[in-house]
Structure 1
């Protein structure tokens, strides 16, 4: 199989009932649009997510399955998928079914007609289908992040993203980095664009995080990213 133009990376942990419906939607959205692969990364699920994925592989030639030896979190799962990906561009989706694969062709169209210096097209959930407390916590966190990082991004928590693989792998890696991709891309000298996307109720299962967990981790990460931005240096280079 030749290298695809796009790799869709989906990190999962205990999402056995959401796997088949999401893969079906990815296939419906992208077959006939671009050459693609689907890279699922199982973060040591305690249910039979891996077995469900394996049962779908024979009928889905685009599907690849990776599994962590140790549970390592969403950012590590995304990076694992990106490192293994064969496409020059990466699309990410959360494994819970709340992101709509039907948005991916629109992100690809925006990229094809956009500025080459834009390396990240970030989904923006304009009509979130989460609980009131989760929406309030996200709005508060986004406001603090925007004030500290000046990343001009209304929603960094959306799992729907399209970015260049090479640009991503050049970013500093740390746990929870996936929530700061716009600021990190901008730190590297690239432009980012937010695009409104669909958001849906979770298909099955339960959220893996609560608002307190997100807040405690987010404060420390935010301070770290702000430090990285202040301490960064960029310069043009010419070969002599």
Structure 2
């Protein structure tokens, strides 16, 4: 069954009872013309509201499309993403936030761009960001600081809608805050990245789980950790292996 799945959409959720049903239905509607098999993989990060019962309802309503994995306790967004990547069965992996600010109608064009461009990962850029001025300014400063410290040029690190080849998210370093550095860590592994503008919407249901100050303090430590990894990261390429000899004998 896993061989036939082309796309896995990984969505971490924490106390998003107001968004589970409309988000699932919107994704299904957005991909109604998508001619390949896909799955929506929710990872419940230890929610304390009705998120889990609603996920169970969505599995019953869309048994061929929806799967979920629920943590026993809250472990953070990075852990939820990593768990989702481990459970994803698709050739391609997409990510969305659970707050519905990402627009799933952007997914088809991102998939097409990935397939036609030859890049390994397509990252979204929120062209018209629907957040308050304080969040916009803090995000711009944080994005610039991360790029400066990691010597990157990613336009919008904080945009959660992405489409990538499965290999990009395998064996990522498991540390808290890792999800804020997906493009940098993917590129560090030798994969290529491109960016395209995407739609961004106001949060109309539920409450944000992050504030400006807690992101700033945690983000600084994360940047220093990633900067250290970039300097110490090891990678290599083989000139020849025993498999090459065996393949030659098979011909």
Counterparts of 2:180 and 2:194 in 1: how far apart (Å)? 15
Q: 1:89 aligns with which of 74, 89, 92?
A: 92
Counterparts of 2:134 and 2:73 in 1: how far apart (Å)? 31
Instruction: Tell me the equivalent position of 2:62.
Output: 60
Instruction: Tell me the equivalent position of 1:104.
Output: 107
Runs of 4+ in structure 1 off by over 3 angstroms are none
Equivalent residue of 1:41, what SS?
A: strand
Q: TM-score, normalised by structure 2?
A: 0.91
Instruction: Tell me the equivalent position of 1:216.
Output: 217
Counterparts of 1:53 and 1:13 in 2: how far apart (Å)? 12
Equivalent residue of 1:154, what SS?
A: coil
Equivalent residue of 1:64, what SS?
A: strand
Q: How many residue pairs were aligned?
A: 238
Computing the radius of gyration from Cα coordinates, the structure with the larger value is 2
How far off its partner does 1:164 sit? 2.0
Gaps of 5+ in 2: 242-251
Deviations 1:165-187 (A, max 9, x none): 22211221211111101111111
Equivalent residue of 2:18, what SS?
A: helix
How far off its partner does 1:150 sit? 2.0
Q: Residues 123 and 196 of structure 1 are in contact (CA less than 8 Å); yes or no, is this contact kept in structure 2?
A: yes
Q: Residues 119 and 185 of structure 1 are in contact (CA less than 8 Å); yes or no, is this contact kept in structure 2?
A: no
How far off its partner does 1:88 sit? 1.8
Q: 1:38 aligns with which of 27, 37, 40?
A: 40
Gaps of 5+ in 1: none
Q: 2:117 aligns with which of 114, 124, 130?
A: 114
Q: CA RMSD in A?
A: 1.2
Q: Residues 18 and 203 of structure 1 are in contact (CA less than 8 Å); yes or no, is this contact kept in structure 2?
A: no
How far off its partner does 1:238 sit? 2.7
Deviations 1:14-34 (A, max 9, x none): 000111111111111223312
How far off its partner does 1:228 sit? 0.6
Equivalent residue of 2:181, what SS?
A: helix
Equivalent residue of 1:91, what SS?
A: strand
Q: Residues 151 and 186 of structure 1 are in contact (CA less than 8 Å); yes or no, is this contact kept in structure 2?
A: no
